Amino acid sequence: MVDHECVVAREVAELEFDRFCEAMDLDVDASRMDEDDRGGLEKLRAKFVRSIMRGILTLDEEGIPTVHLQCPVGDVSKVMFPEPTGDTLLAMDKGKQNQNVGKMFSMMGAMTSNPPHVFAKMKKRDLDVCTAVTQLFLS
């Protein structure tokens, strides 16, 4: 279990968020977004920054994020999220229509080289961080 105390200063965590977006060439310019998109981005950013502050989320030298699970799933205690490829996005097509959670798990599995059931068995606190990282890639 990861302690809920902050291990990284907010300013450092915010710089790490910026480094992630730059490394992955993510367009997070809120001035070009409508109000709903800005609100969604701010929620994802807040989750990302809080997770870094708590030591749950780290970035390697290349800006690739790793989620350190608070509640491991079997022998999976951390999940690395490399930049998605076209094949990652195709994994969403394998799900049935209106099964958005299953499609998201399939895509996260393809991105992280973990079976989708790993995400299905995750506690919500860990899944929320994994989902935030994935949604940032899709922004």
Asked if pLDDT for residue 1 goes beyond 60, the answer is no
Asked if pLDDT for residue 124 goes beyond 90, the answer is yes
How far lies 134's CA from each of 9, 17, 47, 65, 115, in Å?
24, 14, 12, 10, 15
Number of H helices, E strands in the chain: 6, 3
pLDDT tens for each residue of 93-117: 765 666 688 889 999 999 999 999 9
C-alpha 131/C-alpha 116 separation (Å) is 13
* Residues 134/104, Cβ–Cβ less than 8 Å: yes
For residue 31, the model assigns a pLDDT of 79
pLDDT tens for each residue of 14-46: 999 999 999 999 988 887 888 888 888 999 999
pLDDT tens for each residue of 56-69: 999 999 999 999 99
Instruction: Give the gyration radius of the chain's Cα atoms.
Output: 15
For residue 55, the model assigns a pLDDT of 97
pLDDT band at 122 (very low <50, low <70, confident <90, very high): very high
